[in-house]
Chains A and B, each alone.
Chain A
Amino acid sequence: MRDLSVPNSAADEPIVAVTNLSRRFGAKKALNDVTLAVSRGCVFGLVGENGAGKSTLIKHLLGLWRAEAGSVNVFGLDPVSEPTAVLSRIGYLSEQPDLPGWMRVAELLRYTQAFYPRWDTTYAEQLLGQFSLDVGARINTLSKGQRARLGLIAAEAHRPDLLILDEPSSGLDPIVRRDILEAIIRTVTDEGRTVIFSSHLLDEVERVSDHVAMLHQGTLKLCAPLEEIKARHRRVSLRFEAPRTEPPEVAGAIRVDGAGREWTVISDARRTFAPAAAQHLGAVIVEDTEASLDEIFVAHAGY
């Protein structure tokens, strides 16, 4: 079913290649020299707080914005100069799906289908059934969750080579969030398809991602396989005999929190050996565990 004859899509070539991309909005640097690549068949999780530049990056991938500096390639093409070739292979769902409220569900799907030669009617119907969406309902009468599900069908039913979800779970109940995560998994288990999704829900990111990129104030702080990010960080809790006024200095520490006798260090696992650090400081290790994604990101954001 997959069209393997498409040019510029050799299996090992990245689906998305962003090189030294920068973008300003007035005085604000929305994206600052961002370079990253997304390889075929992976789930790429994009995290960062509101205003970190996630949506700005995604809009460049969709060709909605032209690169001010640097370059953006999707399927080896420039999405601004070749929008049809790029967009026909992308499924996109945003936080607030922009669906025409006056249309009925069936009308919207017929309308969307017209843009995509590869639209899979059977699959769309199967999802409609699974989501209990009434094809005769007007979109403006649908709940937020049902609207998100409809947006998901519109994004997914042409079996895109690249599914892009921008904060898809925002403000949705757990059942709809699960539907969205299931769509992500379905897409990658369907040989060779790729997913990019942004989220501030780190448990979701951890659950489904292969690769995680973290943006902070427009700058890429981390971009690596999830497993590597997890393996690279430790969370070490130390207890001191006497209260300290200054945070302890631990080699490889990225962030140190605490007060008095109890201090917690998020550290670079390659540079920190907790027993040696504790011995050196005259402290006792209360805990030495893998850090959660949440802790890792807060540490790198440097709040």
Chain B
Amino acid sequence: MTTIRLNPLSGTPLYLQLVEHLKHSIETGAIRAGEQLPSVRKMAEDLVINPNTVVRAYRDLEREEILELRHGSGVFVRESVSARIDLMKKAGPIMRSAVDRLESLDLGEDDIRRLMENELALRRTARQTRKRRA
């Protein structure tokens, strides 16, 4: 847990950085299903961030059914995240073959990252436009 590095200047909100970090830790098994996470207070003090930022991250993960906030006893990783980990394991090979094919076109790391982000941004804009029209 002490290895979390948050960067306020990265352009990604701090609570999202924390959400992503915790998800990644859970997906890689660094934090296990059923494990207890530090309290809001402890996490805020360790990371030197506003406690409300930690609350927001925990709430997000609760909404995504990754964490369970048990009143009075703490914050726990749900047992059901095992299914999510399996999903991520399935996604791994799909990603690998896509990147393999892009690399076979002689595209570098930066190109691939840009393509990926472009594609995601296009989809986001399309969704937003659809929402505005609706």
Interfacial residues, chain A to chain B (CB-CB below 8 A): 43, 178, 181-182, 185-186, 188-189, 202-204, 206-210, 230, 273, 275, 285, 288-290, 292, 294
Contacts and interface: CB of A to CB of B under 8 A. Distances in A.
Nearest to B48: A181
Contacts of A43: 50
Given A207-B8, A275-B125, A275-B128, A290 B13 contact: yes
B50 A182 contact: no
B122 to A, nearest CB: 10
Interface string B76-107: 00000000000000000000000000000000
Contacts of B45: 182, 185-186, 189
B19 interface: no
Contacts of A275: 125, 128-129
Give 8 nearest A-B pairs by CB, closest first. Answer: A206-B8, A203-B8, A189-B41, A181-B48, A207-B8, A203-B9, A208-B50, A185-B44
A230 B8 CA distance: 12
B48 to A, nearest CB: 5
A266 B44 CA distance: 31
Interface in B10-31: 11, 13-14
A204 B14 CA distance: 12
Contacts of B34: none
A203 B13 CA distance: 11
A188 B50 contact: yes
Given A189-B41, A275-B129, A292 B11 contact: yes
A188 B48 CA distance: 11
B17 to A, nearest CB: 11
Given A188-B50, A210-B50, A275-B128, A290 B11 contact: yes
Nearest to A191: B41
Among A178, A181, A206, A210, max chain B CB count under 10 A is at A206
Contacts of A294: 9
B11 A289 contact: yes
Contacts of A209: 50
A208 B48 contact: yes
A207 B50 contact: yes
